[in-house]
């Protein structure tokens, strides 16, 4: 489902550039579409005195609060102390940043792909306490410049599969369970699951690729036939290693 509050400014930009190329407007008149000013303060939702046992506990709490209120929270920057500097994690709204339209070098036209990015300034910071035993959360800027999504279904980040869910899909994939039944099983296990069928297909494709490894499809087929003790034979093309027929 497309978020009705996403402003497709790229389409308007393309129209402006087309008008400029046709000589109908001056370059200075090409200005990007500026959506109405919106300010949704969610500071109170993320303000907490809770001390989290681990970094993952902090991330899970923030993501769950965001999900419950129609916002997708992602990791913007993270420093685990391996390259110097303070250990911290910066969390941003999923609509942070500005989309830069791609210009096709052959047609010299900008693509008209929409984007959910609207340079949302929402920012949180998580840091460990003294001794690096626990984590605390601070709201750096709690306002969003857009309305909350009415549904987060289809948002790739909130629908990501966990390591445990990937393991379950791998087990079901080996048992020849259909992807639609895999998705149904995940949602029956977790009523708040926002994974889509596309993400299930992508995971299955990754599982197949990992199982195949560096082998070609034909090499992988011959390997599985041998491992499963199938009665089989193959014919090769004359003076070649190319397989012509497989029985």
Check whether 15 has a pLDDT greater than 80: no
Res. 42 pLDDT band, cuts 50 70 90: very high
Check whether 18 has a pLDDT greater than 70: no
Which pair of tokens denotes residue 69? Answer: 């209120």
Res. 112 pLDDT band, cuts 50 70 90: low
| Cα 111 from Cα 101, distance rounded (Å) | 6
- The pLDDT assigned to 137 comes to 93
Q: Are 105 and 139 in contact (CB under 8 A)?
A: no
pTM, entire model: 0.58
Query: What value does the mean pLDDT take over residues 32-55?
Result: 82
**Backbone torsion region of residue 195, taken as left when φ is above 0, otherwise alpha when ψ lies between -120 and 50, otherwise beta:** beta
Q: Are 214 and 207 in contact (CB under 8 A)?
A: no
Check whether 125 has a pLDDT greater than 90: yes
Check whether 130 has a pLDDT greater than 80: no
Check whether 123 has a pLDDT greater than 90: yes
Helix (H, G, I), strand (E, B) or coil at 42: coil
The DSSP bridge partners found for residue 128 are 135
| Cα 101 from Cα 14, distance rounded (Å) | 9
Q: What is the pLDDT of residues 167-199, one digit of tens each?
A: 888 888 888 889 899 888 888 888 777 788 888
Check whether 129 has a pLDDT greater than 50: yes
Check whether 138 has a pLDDT greater than 80: yes
Q: Nearest-CA neighbor of 66 among 51, 47, 46?
A: 46
Domain range summary for the chain, segments of one domain joined by +: 9-158, 217-246
Chain mean pLDDT for the chain? 78
> Where is average pLDDT lowest: 59-73, 152-166, 210-224?
152-166
């Amino acid at each position: 489902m497309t978020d009705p509050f996403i402003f497709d400014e790229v389409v308007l930009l393309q129209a402006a550039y087309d008008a400029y190329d046709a000589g109908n407007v001056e370059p200075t008149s090409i200005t990007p579409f500026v959506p109405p000013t919106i300010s949704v303060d969610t500071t109170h939702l993320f303000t907490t005195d809770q001390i989290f046992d681990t970094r993952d506990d902090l991330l899970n709490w923030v993501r769950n609060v965001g999900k419950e209120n129609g916002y997708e929270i992602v990791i913007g920057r993270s420093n685990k102390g391996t390259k110097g500097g303070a250990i911290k994690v910066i969390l941003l709204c999923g609509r942070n940043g500005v989309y830069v339209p791609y210009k096709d070098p052959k047609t010299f036209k900008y693509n008209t792909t929409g984007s959910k990015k609207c340079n949302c300034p929402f920012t949180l910071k998580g840091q460990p306490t003294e001794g690096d035993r626990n984590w605390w959360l601070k709201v750096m800027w709690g306002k969003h410049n857009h309305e909350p999504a009415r549904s987060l279904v289809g948002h790739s980040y909130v629908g990501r599969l966990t390591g445990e869910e990937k393991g379950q899909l791998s087990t079901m994939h080996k048992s020849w369970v259909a992807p639609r039944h895999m998705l149904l099983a995940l949602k029956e296990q977790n009523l708040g699951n926002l994974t889509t069928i596309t993400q299930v297909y992508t995971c299955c494709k990754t599982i197949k690729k990992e199982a195949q490894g560096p082998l070609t499809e034909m090499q992988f087929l011959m390997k599985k036939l041998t491992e499963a003790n199938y009665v089989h034979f193959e014919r090769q093309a004359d003076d070649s290693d190319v397989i012509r027929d497989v029985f």
